[in-house]
Amino acid sequence: MQTIAIIGGGFSGTLAAVNLTRFANSPHRIVIINSGRPFGRGTAYGTTRDEHLLNVAARNMSAFPDHPNHFVEWLRSRCDFDNLKDEVLREKFIPRRIYGDYVRGLATHYLGGADPRSQVECQVVEDSAIDIEPRGQNGGIVVLAQRGPIEANAILLATGNQPPSGLPGSAKLASDRRYCANPWMNWHEEIPSDDKHIVILGTGLTAVDVIVTLRNKGWNGKITAISRNGILPQRHFRGIEWPTAIPDDGQTRTLKELVKLIRQDCERLRNASQNPAIAVDKLRSRTQELWRALSVEEKRLFLTKYAADWNAIRHRIAGPIHDAITDALDCGQLTITSARIESLAAGESSIEVRLATGENGPAVINGDFVINCTGPKSRFSDSQIPLYSNLFNRGLAKPDGMDMGIEITDDFAVIVGDSLPSSCLYAIGPILKGTLWETVAVPELRQQAMSVAQTILKQKPIRWSTQDTIEYCI
């Protein structure tokens, strides 16, 4: 019997296991190694807070590319959504914890062993994978932090995002209760009283999560959110049918040409009294292909010059969340500050957030509680995660050209040494960001989870056209 070890039991790892079970036609053993976040839920869907909503409408959140309506149908099995009309349910932004129930439920259904016809037996091991020892062409041995090693014929890395990187000075705050280094942990169980000031580092999706939680808990103190550009995510809206800005004519385009075409498209949309974000939405099914065709220099230029705006437009938030943020701004509870965070230091009565403000010298904002919402650490070559530093040292994986993840082939095989694909090591999920750019959300991950399962089973992956399954444009 072949053993497949999956490192990471969030959406990507769980769905890879589910697809292995769906497609295996000979006996297999799957071992999912997961630690840190709840199995089946991972970072995003491990939240227990009702106010944390999906930032993708229900119609686009099926876990299966070959069953695009699966999530909406699953929602129908819950009495709380039973009475909603189809067109209403499809457009709803469901609480993320319910999505966690969905993924966990799929794991129970497919991996729980209830189906006597299943060719797969599955085991979940609560532990951290810290290393992989190669066994030539015969797979590898996954070394765990606590338990004995696991021998496997194939190993899938589905470890998700790295935790947020530290900021200058933050290491000294590691045991300071006034500083939260990881916003995906339960910081909200102990918040200061209403007369205090909470400072959020970042103004993206995680900062939004924090703000809505504070409001949901009825916390009435002052909040300051700081980021370089001071841009908050935009509100979701239902778009219109619109032709894509980049013709699908097989031509390779430079970044300069792409920027010009997209800007022209935005202008056309404005002239038609439409939201220019539609230009970015329409590109979604082709973003990976366009990114791959850019040179490393162009990708770097994109990251420094355009990525912040791209992210703000692309990663939008549900209407009710946007309303809550707008209310917080309107009533003066929330202030957005645009500045580069220079360093953090422990003051006597508060945490000092030092900002670089150019000519006027550094400014300091004092927070009674400071939460790092600057997003996952991007750079990989200096990863503090033992698994990756060990894989790099052994030459079993290497950072991609952008140093934002690890390098892979089109079939998700990890590249070893100079250019050889590994015969047993695969990777999916956010660690492919440097290679694919658009690889963090369910609409892309479900396809990866299915394709990699079929590749590992030595079957020809069925590719579902994203255009057929996903209404990206509307």
Ligand X SMILES: Cc1cc2nc3c(=O)[nH]c(=O)nc-3n(C[C@H](O)[C@H](O)[C@H](O)COP(=O)(O)OP(=O)(O)OC[C@H]3O[C@@H](n4cnc5c(N)ncnc54)[C@H](O)[C@@H]3O)c2cc1C
Tell whether residue 345 is a contact of ligand X (CB under 6 A): no
Binding mask 202-241 for ligand X (x = CB under 6 A): ----x--x--------------------------------
CA–CA separation, 399 and 417 (whole Å): 11
Q: Which residue, 155 or 223, has its beta carbon nearer to ligand X?
A: 155
Out of 56, 57, 404, 452, the only residue in the binding site for ligand X (CB under 6 A) is 56
Tell whether residue 452 is a contact of ligand X (CB under 6 A): no
Cα–chain-centroid distance for residue 211? 19
Closest by Cα among 436, 396, 441, 420 to 157: 396
Out of 18, 33, 98, 167, the only residue in the binding site for ligand X (CB under 6 A) is 33
Tell whether residue 425 is a contact of ligand X (CB under 6 A): no
In the complex, what is the shortest distance from the CB of residue 243 to ligand X, in angstroms, rounded to a whole number? 25
Compute how many other C-beta atoms are within 10 angstroms of the C-beta atom of residue 277.
19
Question: What is the footprint of ligand X within residues 238-257 (CB under 6 A)?
Answer: none
Can you say whether residue 242 is alpha, beta or left, with left for phi > 0 and alpha for psi between -120 and 50 degrees?
A: beta
In the complex, what is the shortest distance from the CB of residue 187 to ligand X, in angstroms, rounded to a whole number? 13
Buried b (16+ CB within 10 A) or exposed e, 168-196: ebbeebeeeebbbbebbeebbeebbeeee
In the complex, what is the shortest distance from the CB of residue 425 to ligand X, in angstroms, rounded to a whole number? 14
Q: Are 11 and 45 in contact (CB under 8 A)?
A: yes
Question: What is the footprint of ligand X within residues 276-335 (CB under 6 A)?
Answer: none
In the complex, what is the shortest distance from the CB of residue 332 to ligand X, in angstroms, rounded to a whole number? 27
In the complex, what is the shortest distance from the CB of residue 271 to ligand X, in angstroms, rounded to a whole number? 31
Tell whether residue 62 is a contact of ligand X (CB under 6 A): no
In the complex, what is the shortest distance from the CB of residue 205 to ligand X, in angstroms, rounded to a whole number? 6
Tell whether residue 201 is a contact of ligand X (CB under 6 A): no
Looking up tokens 């770097």, which residue turns up?
A: 300
Sort 148 into a burial class: Cβ within 10 Å, 0-12 / 13-18 / 19+.
exposed
- Which one of the spans 38-46, 106-114, 249-257, 451-459 is the region binding ligand X (CB under 6 A)? 38-46
CA–CA separation, 456 and 423 (whole Å): 10
Out of 3, 128, 153, 451, the only residue in the binding site for ligand X (CB under 6 A) is 128
CA–CA separation, 35 and 245 (whole Å): 42
Q: Which residue, 5 or 245, has its beta carbon nearer to ligand X?
A: 5
Tell whether residue 399 is a contact of ligand X (CB under 6 A): no
Beta strands in 64-203 (DSSP E): 120-126, 129-134, 140-144, 150-152, 154-157, 179-180, 197-201
Q: Which residue, 55 or 170, has its beta carbon nearer to ligand X?
A: 55
CA–CA separation, 213 and 226 (whole Å): 18
Sort 465 into a burial class: Cβ within 10 Å, 0-12 / 13-18 / 19+.
exposed
Tell whether residue 371 is a contact of ligand X (CB under 6 A): no
In the complex, what is the shortest distance from the CB of residue 161 to ligand X, in angstroms, rounded to a whole number? 5
Q: Are 159 and 387 in contact (CB under 8 A)?
A: yes
List residues binding ligand X (CB under 6 A): 7-13, 33-37, 42-44, 54-56, 96, 128-129, 158-161, 206, 209, 387, 429-430, 440-442, 445
